[in-house]
Amino acid sequence: MWKAAVDGQVLHFELAGINNQNFIMRDAETGSWWQQVTGEAIQGPLKGRRLELVPWDEVSFALWRRERPDSRVLRADARYAEHYAAADWDQDMDRYPTVVPPPPGDPLPPRELVVGVEIGGEAKAYPFAVLAERSPVVDEIGGVPLLVVVGEDGKSVRCFDRRVDGEALDFYRLPGLAPLRLVDARTASEWDFAGRALAGPLAGRELARVRTLKDYWFDWRLYHPQTRLYAAGLSSPGD
């Protein structure tokens, strides 16, 4: 998600094309073309400029509504129903070949869903299936200790800096609880999926959110060629 303004000028975007199955936007004000995945203008008067990121959260509606019951919802407009993607659009896309062929020995299928994290120039991809099985996952990228956790819906994922007062915490999931609850090994405080401590010595504290991108493996690897891969027993490109 990007701010639709450059140097104070609000831009209005429309579909210009598809590049490697990524949305290419054209702004009406300058005619520049922008790449969805990077927010960079790749052609036109604003070539080389980048849109400013806006924090986003890719979670199920049920989980979002539970955390923010007063939220407004953007509803589909029936007048343009024929222009919306079908509910099974992702299944249709699976039948299309990827533009960039996978390298020999690629450890994942091209359309394996991964959760990508980039910090300090270092990138790492977490296969979503692995996260769902092992959540929560504690790791470190670019010197930042991370907590990656999948919600109890098995679809939503969030990533946090797991330091509190400069000390990295290890987390475990409390079994059989919904909503999801985590506990840290140092203080036995209980934490929720929003990264907030609800009970224990750290009650009221909140972990800092780390931006993630849920993406196809082939696409993440294309824009992060030196990415490492979190997956037991599999080789990591760039290692």
Looking at the domain assignment, is residue 239 inside a domain?
A: no
194 part of a folded domain: yes
Answer yes or no: is 27 within a domain. yes
Q: What's the CATH number where 158 sits?
A: 2.102.10
Which tokens in the block code for residue 149?
């956790």
- 127 falls within a domain: yes
| pLDDT of 232 above 60 | no
More confident: 2 or 91:
2
Write out the H or E segment, with its range, that includes residue 61: helix 61-67
Which residues constitute the domain of residue 23?
5-43
Average pLDDT over residues 108-123: 92
pTM comes to 0.83
Domain presence at residue 134: yes
Query: What pLDDT score was predicted for residue 89?
Result: 66
Residues 34 and 122 in one domain: no
Q: How many domains does the chain have?
A: 2
Which one is predicted more confidently, 183 or 97? 183
Whether residue 12 is contained in a domain is answered as yes
In the structure encoding, which two tokens stand for residue 132, read together? 């769902």
Q: Under 8 Å CB-to-CB from 204, ≥6 apart: which residues?
A: 196, 197
Nearest to 62 by CA among 52, 73, 53: 73
pLDDT at 88 over 80: no
Residues 121 and 39 in one domain: no
* Average pLDDT of span 180-202: 96
Taking the C-alpha atoms of residue 236 and residue 124, their distance in angstroms, rounded to an integer, is 9
Angstrom distance (rounded) from CA 16 to CA 34: 9
Give the span between the Cα atoms of 11 and 26, in whole angstroms: 9
Q: Is residue 11 part of a domain?
A: yes
Of the listed ranges 30-34, 145-149, 232-236, the least confidently predicted one is 232-236
